[in-house]
């Protein structure tokens, strides 16, 4: 199972919006609405930010939103804040009943 | 509060074995699917394995299939990962995670993660 494709880095100024893409194939992202996004700060465990393409767990800021079109999912962070600087990983359920992650995107707040 | 705490990591020689444990608390362990995910130093997250709530269904990444075995003891609220024939590329922080559930529904996603345990494979 090949990793999902994410940009290595994305940056933005405080208050701006940024979008991270996540491209898979028909047997994962394209076939299932089970795309998740995780935030990971250095030395910390990943934190679930989005599940089922666009759903936010309780406690996650509504500045985070997700969407999907075909084989590509996206995470948008609105009103970028310094605390949003972290690595972000997408993940999808697959036709093998396993999961596949993206390689990760480093978000930098300028 | 949902808590999962990994243990059992350490230094092992190539070809050796190691068993990781994950102690769960703060929720009904026997009714939730569990996962293992790993992260090599400086690298991204990699899915390892899934086990259903009663242990009847198990799934593995191709990279560990035939070498790793996931299991659980619901009487002890503990998840395990038996790792055999270890290779240098298995060196990573191993995370235990619980499925995310909201109200009465559970979702295909990893909702609660432990802090991880480091496995070092080296001679």
**Searching chain A, which residue's CA lies closest to the CA of residue B96?**
A45
Q: How far apart are CA B25 and CA B102, in angstroms?
A: 17
Residue A110 buriedness (CB in 10 A; 0-12 / 13-18 / 19+) = exposed
Residue B20 buriedness (CB in 10 A; 0-12 / 13-18 / 19+) = buried
* pLDDT reported for residue A109: 97
Residue A38 touches partner B, C-beta closer than 8 Å: yes
* pLDDT reported for residue B121: 97
State in Å, rounded, how far the first CA of chain B is from the last one: 40
Q: How far apart are CA B34 and CA B54, in angstroms?
A: 10
Averaged over B73-88, what is the pLDDT?
Answer: 98
Q: What is the DSSP string of B13-60?
A: -TT--EEEEEEEESS-GGGS-EEEEEE-TTS-EEEEEEE-TTS--EEE
Residue A105 touches partner B, C-beta closer than 8 Å: no
Q: Residue A40: enclosing H or E segment and its boundaries?
A: strand A35-40
Give the residue carrying structure tokens 């270890």: B86
State in Å, rounded, how far the first CA of chain A is from the last one: 35
* pLDDT reported for residue A2: 86
pLDDT in tens, B17-40: 999 999 999 999 999 999 999 999
Residue A96 touches partner B, C-beta closer than 8 Å: yes
pLDDT in tens, A29-76: 889 999 999 999 999 999 999 999 999 999 999 999 999 999 999 999
CB B102 within 8 A of CB A57: yes
**Which has the closest alpha carbon to B90: B29, B39, B20?**
B39
């Amino acid at each position: 199972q090949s990793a999902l494709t994410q940009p290595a880095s994305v940056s933005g100024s405080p208050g701006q919006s940024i979008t991270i893409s996540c491209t898979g194939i028909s047997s994962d992202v394209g076939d299932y609405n089970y795309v998740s996004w995780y935030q990971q700060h250095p030395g910390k465990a990943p934190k679930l930010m989005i599940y089922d393409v666009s759903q936010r767990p309780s406690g996650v800021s509504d500045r985070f939103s997700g969407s999907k079109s075909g084989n590509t999912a996206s995470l948008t962070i609105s009103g970028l804040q310094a605390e949003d600087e972290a690595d972000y990983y997408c993940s999808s359920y697959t036709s093998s009943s396993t999961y596949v992650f993206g390689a990760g995107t480093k978000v930098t707040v300028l | 509060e949902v808590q999962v705490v990994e243990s059992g990591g350490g230094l092992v020689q190539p070809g050796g074995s190691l068993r990781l444990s994950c102690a769960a608390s703060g929720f009904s362990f026997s009714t939730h699917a569990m996962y293992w995910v790993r992260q090599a130093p400086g690298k991204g997250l990699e899915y390892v394995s899934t086990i259903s709530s009663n242990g009847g269904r198990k799934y593995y990444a191709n990279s560990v299939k035939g070498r790793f075995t996931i299991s659980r003891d619901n009487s002890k609220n503990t998840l395990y990962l038996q790792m055999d024939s270890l290779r240098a590329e298995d060196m990573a922080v191993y995370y235990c995670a619980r499925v995310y559930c909201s109200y009465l529904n559970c979702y295909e996603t990893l909702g609660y993660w432990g802090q991880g345990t480091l496995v070092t494979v080296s001679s």
